[in-house]
Structure 1
Amino acid sequence: MDRRRRGFTLIELMVSSAVTFVTVLAVSAAFLGYTQSFYTQAGIRGGQASLRQTHLMVVRNLRMAGYGMEPPLAFDFPAGWGRDGTNSVNRSNQLSFRMRNPAFNAFASNVGSTAITLAEPLTEGLRKGQVIQVVCTGAVGWTYAQLSEDAPKGSAALPLEVADPDGKFPRMNKFTPVCFNSAGGSAKTAIFKIDVFHYSVRLVDDDGDATTPGRPYLFRRHGLGEKNPLEDNYGEPVAEDIEAMRVSFLREDGSSFIPDPTQPAPDYGTALDDPLRKNNSPANIRAVVIGLVARSSTRDSGASKDRMNDIPAFGRKLVLSGKDLIELPEEALTTDPVTNKPIAYGFRRVVSEMTVQVRNMRSSELPLPVYSLNAGTPDECKGKLPTDNFNCAGG
């Protein structure tokens, strides 16, 4: 029986090849699109995660600002802190504040203008530049000083920086009250640690290419062990891709103002309706508005240089015009004002603002309880006292 071999014609092969090619092309395009979308969304999620982390960290620390301190000393305003300052990268404010560390206390046996001798050795080390609060028994007097050298764990001496000629914080060293001279007797002089939190946005050249914009990081400084010039001491990076930070301060009535440390500050005896409680002194800060811009951790590969190439505006800003404080609209940034380099393009950006109540600034008296010692028990305070003497004389 004659059987003929059957096969595909050339046209059939060409048609099948074309169909296969189109199918593979469609699947590849879909896969590439999915991959690009995946990485884009992953970058956006990275920026959002960094934003949440930053807000939680800054807000948690900021809520403690001014704890155990006089309100005029709670916030610091270093050179260029404002959004229009020459050192403000991406028009970013610096945020600097202080608080007493509630987990540290010590007692002094001798207080001097250049050194303090402790009653017991340190249970943890203190670094050069650490600000300390020295409080007399019963908080009848207190002052501040700054360590001139590291004080390692186990040390019983705290070397101090020379007092500032004008008695400025933190090198006040005002140990003139009689109460400090009785440190070696039955009364005790308490030593507390003042923590400093200084946040700022800095650009880091992580790709080694000086012609491209650096990657933005949020840095935190504590003012410890720093070298000169201070501008080179960025501190530690605590969050990546935080591209801008805006800080605004509010009074008791909710009005915005630019704090001026040179203005007279109200004290604990100032009446609540006194004009001093309504001026621009930092002591009148009652809330802080923190605005952040976070960018995606990866660039959108489909974006051109003329897309997504600016830092969005926050809305409005306060500007001092003569003697008047006026509001002007913010402007989106396309060029970094310090480096004059264009803003990195192709990044998705998220803007967020949060208002933080600074409750320690509302105190009408210093949170250092005045107490007296029981005559029969020299080391016992009248009233409820922790059995380990923790924070006695000022907690």
Structure 2
Amino acid sequence: MRPSRRGFTLIELLVGGAVGSVVLLGISLTFISQARQYQTHASRRAIQSNARQAMSFMSRHIRSAGYGVDPDRTVLAYDSFNAAEGTSQTGYPDAVVVHSRDLLFRRDVTSATSNRLVVNAPIPLLQRGQILLVLCRNNGSITTTQHHAFVTVGQHLENSMEINLDTTDPAAAPNSPTGMPGRLFHEQALLDGNNCYDTAQVVKVSRSAFYVAAFDEPGNATTRTPYLMMHQGLDLDRDGTIGPNDAVPVAEGIEQLQVAYILNSMGTAMPRVLGVNEPTTAEHYGEQWQTMIPPQMVGPTRRIPQWYTLPLNDLEKPAREEDSPVNIRQLRITLVSRSSTQDPQHVGDDLMLANAGEAIGATVPWRQLENLSVTGVTPDTSDFTPQGRGFYRVILREAITPKNIQLNSQFIATTEAGG
């Protein structure tokens, strides 16, 4: 008797197929969910890494700020700086510029005029826009009011003993993080009529300007990518001009940079937090941040800036509580880093939430984004608005102490000739 051969019925096939589809669908959904979670975590790790990289880089420069540089030239902050236009505009990130003396470079000066320095040994390289500090070795004539001068190199040079200086009038020098050094570094007129500069020493001053700018990405016509940029005030591309094209990127995805000053206080008073958007904006913007203590007269004609003479604990000197660069205790930096791409499944993190009872735009000790306000901003500012648009974001804040800012006097370098 032939055995019967029974197969699957149509109903069994349909049931088996349905069960298999459900299993495959579950596996697929699990895979998709895990992949999305992986991408989310990867994006958050990346933005945290970018923020830490940017903060670490800025911190190294800020901590060294003030070494061998007058306090009023140590830190210059710019509120709401639109890098594309070079102007202040609501909703844009802040910018900050710090200066410090180069530890390894010095030359002896054999001749000095307002347009040229001659030194005792060839200099391998100097870029146009390099800041130099010329230091007298003696007190000079009795009528001299200052015995050191900050000047700017006006021409690229290699293996030369002659340094051509930029002769721009200080009043016409730019006040911008993306331009050449400004009026505080155009004191070339002091070199004329004072023979002490003919036997002086010249050292370099390093400039680091940090700001945020957005750039178009290939294949993405709708969203630009923001970068933290650094500008040294030098004509790096040697095109004859010093501008935004001479900047270099530091970190990708840095959407916001906010700056605040934490000032010295007297006695047991709490340190004050001073936003760079205070009402007297003309006195707090960039190189105008100079509500300095009036200089002290020494004799009938000579002056010494009082930041050299006032002790920090002198309770009889109210100038120690003024809004002055010499009173900066810390520089508080706040960075916002965002993901490189938008997640269509994510609304986007919102970092513009105000504290209870505080309006956005106030500068208070606990407000995470300092004085940033997006009220009334133009559409272009959306590149820097830390709200929505499908981006993951992280905020990082650090209060950095520039310990060298309390300079008591200028000094001649003791290192051997070099650089």
Q: Same fold (TM over 0.5)?
A: yes
**Partners of 1:217 and 1:20 in 2: how far apart?**
49
Q: How does 1:164-203 map to 2 (within 5 A)?
A: 164=169, 168-173=183-188, 174-175=190-191, 176-181=193-198, 183=199, 189-203=200-214
| Partner secondary structure for residue 207 of structure 2 | strand
Question: Of Structure 1 and Structure 2, which has the larger fraction of its residues in helix?
Answer: 2
Matching residue of 1:377:
none
**Partners of 1:336 and 1:215 in 2: how far apart?**
19
Matching residue of 1:308:
348
| Partner secondary structure for residue 48 of structure 2 | helix
Judged with a 3 Å threshold, the aligned counterparts in structure 2 of structure 1 residues 277 and 338 are, in CA distance, closer, same or farther, namely farther
* Matching of residue 150 in structure 1 with residue 156 in structure 2: yes
- Preserved contact between residue 100 and residue 206 of structure 2 (Cα < 8 Å): yes
Matching residue of 1:255:
272
* Matching of residue 269 in structure 1 with residue 309 in structure 2: yes
Matching residue of 2:380:
339
Residue 222 of structure 1: how far off its partner (Å)? 0.7
Matching residue of 1:204:
215
Q: Which string of whole-angstrom CA distances, capped at 9 and with x for unpartnered residues, describes residues 32-52 of structure 1? A: 111111111111111000011
**Partners of 2:376 and 2:224 in 1: how far apart?**
13
Judged with a 3 Å threshold, the aligned counterparts in structure 2 of structure 1 residues 318 and 339 are, in CA distance, closer, same or farther, namely closer
- Percent identity of equivalent pairs: 25
| Partner secondary structure for residue 205 of structure 1 | strand
Q: Which string of whole-angstrom CA distances, capped at 9 and with x for unpartnered residues, describes residues 50-107 of structure 1? A: 011011111111011111011011122458559xx96358431111111111122222
| Partner secondary structure for residue 29 of structure 1 | helix
**Partners of 2:57 and 2:394 in 1: how far apart?**
18
Judged with a 3 Å threshold, the aligned counterparts in structure 2 of structure 1 residues 120 and 289 are, in CA distance, closer, same or farther, namely same
Judged with a 3 Å threshold, the aligned counterparts in structure 2 of structure 1 residues 341 and 348 are, in CA distance, closer, same or farther, namely closer
**Partners of 1:326 and 1:47 in 2: how far apart?**
25
Residue 2 of structure 1: how far off its partner (Å)? 1.6
Matching residue of 2:397:
353
**Partners of 1:17 and 1:243 in 2: how far apart?**
51
Matching residue of 1:375:
none
The alignment yields a C-alpha RMSD, in angstroms, of 3.5
| Partner secondary structure for residue 213 of structure 1 | strand
Matching residue of 1:17:
17
- Preserved contact between residue 235 and residue 246 of structure 2 (Cα < 8 Å): no
- Preserved contact between residue 39 and residue 298 of structure 1 (Cα < 8 Å): no
Matching residue of 2:255:
243
**Partners of 2:372 and 2:361 in 1: how far apart?**
13
| Partner secondary structure for residue 72 of structure 2 | helix
Q: Which string of whole-angstrom CA distances, capped at 9 and with x for unpartnered residues, describes residues 314-340 of structure 1? A: 8678769xxxx9999867759864615
Judged with a 3 Å threshold, the aligned counterparts in structure 2 of structure 1 residues 345 and 268 are, in CA distance, closer, same or farther, namely same
Q: Which string of whole-angstrom CA distances, capped at 9 and with x for unpartnered residues, describes residues 209-264 of structure 1? A: 55x23211111111111779977447111111111111000111221225463423
- Preserved contact between residue 108 and residue 119 of structure 2 (Cα < 8 Å): yes
**Partners of 1:117 and 1:240 in 2: how far apart?**
42
Judged with a 3 Å threshold, the aligned counterparts in structure 2 of structure 1 residues 267 and 219 are, in CA distance, closer, same or farther, namely same
Among 154, 159, 167, which residue is 2:164 paired with? 159
Judged with a 3 Å threshold, the aligned counterparts in structure 2 of structure 1 residues 229 and 267 are, in CA distance, closer, same or farther, namely same
Matching residue of 2:279:
none
| Partner secondary structure for residue 122 of structure 1 | strand
- Preserved contact between residue 235 and residue 242 of structure 2 (Cα < 8 Å): no
- Preserved contact between residue 128 and residue 155 of structure 2 (Cα < 8 Å): yes
Judged with a 3 Å threshold, the aligned counterparts in structure 2 of structure 1 residues 88 and 346 are, in CA distance, closer, same or farther, namely same
Q: How does 1:4-153 map to 2 (within 5 A)?
A: 4-77=4-77, 81=81, 87-88=88-89, 90-123=91-124, 125-137=125-137, 141-152=147-158
Give the gaps of 5 or more residues in structure 1.
184-188, 371-384
**Paired residue type of 1:312:** M
Residue 297 of structure 1: how far off its partner (Å)? 2.9
**Paired residue type of 1:349:** R
TM-score (norm 2): 0.75
- Preserved contact between residue 138 and residue 369 of structure 1 (Cα < 8 Å): no
**Partners of 2:64 and 2:58 in 1: how far apart?**
10
